[in-house]
Chains A and B, each alone.
Chain A
Amino acid sequence: MIRLLLVTPYRKSLLELASAMEKYDDVELTWTESGQKALDMLSETSMDLVVTDKELGDMTGLEFAEKLLRVNPMINSAVLSSLPSHEFHEASEGLGVLAQLPLRPAKADAENLLKGLKNLKNLTAGITIGDKDPGP
């Protein structure tokens, strides 16, 4: 099972991504609406991936990615951002962000994200995880 935490005060921005993720039997989604609530949750329970909106109300998505390292550096993160990719790379250097996502990520972004996450988990754990295909 792949556990994903979606963090946004504006649920609409992640609805399409969530809808695409929900089609996978091996993906479990959890939502929360602020950076601090997410950090509190992640101090108690681990996730495979946290997807954060550009702004979380109490911090930015990249600020969250940095704070997450102090809570659990093993958790992967993906951040919605409108920055050009080279600027995003500069702003997120060292944070180990798995992916930059557009402000309204869609089905293709969800698929790429899951593919990248599974590849990474295989490299990290040496085990195969969640290869179920959601079908057409």
Chain B
Amino acid sequence: MQNGRIAVPSMEKGGLDGQRSGHFGHCDVFTLVDVEAGEIKAVTTISNQSHVQGGCMVPVNLMAEHNVNALIVGGIGMRPLMGFRQAGIDVYHDAVRPEIRPVVEDLIAGKLSAITDNQVCGGGQGGV
């Protein structure tokens, strides 16, 4: 990724040296990393909004409002994933590393994979 804004769901205060949150919907803040010509130019954070039942589209809206181009998650449900895709925000996946910096650096270097449909949380088993 040469140019754009990356968002990472983060714990507590976030920041490039902070820790990632396992599930984006429940994170404390989003760390936003602005990239220009493959270099990190700015790092900011924004607060997450309260998570309510069925509120999967709230973070999608928040990310779109902040002109995010790519999101790195450890876990995400199918509905918000579809929402991000509809909003034109690419979603990448790393469920292993808890630190923010290495996954951001990997995304910039093109070493992080886009999430696939079978990596989403739940997805419903069709039972009632």
Contacts and interface: CB of A to CB of B under 8 A. Distances in A.
B53 interface: yes
Interface string B107-128: 0000000000000111111111
Interface residues of B, number: 27
Interface stretch (B8-16, B31-39, B74-82, B98-106): B74-82
A91 B128 contact: yes
22 contacts: A60-B126, A60-B127, A62-B124, A62-B127, A69-B82, A73-B80, A81-B128, A91-B125, A93-B77, A94-B120, A94-B121, A95-B123, A96-B55, A96-B57, A96-B77, A98-B54, A99-B54, A116-B53, A120-B54, A120-B55, A123-B50, A124-B57
Interface SS of B by simple majority: loop
Contacts of B58: 120, 123-124
A15 interface: no
B77 to A, nearest CB: 3
Interface residues of A, number: 36
Contact of B52 (A61, A65, A119): A119
Interface of A: 54-55, 60-63, 65-66, 69-70, 73-74, 76-77, 79, 81-83, 87, 90-99, 116, 119-120, 123-126
Contacts of A60: 126-128
A81 to B, nearest CB: 5
Interface string B30-63: 0000000000000000000110111111100100
B126 A96 contact: no
Nearest to A52: B128
A83 B124 CA distance: 13
Contacts of B83: 73-74
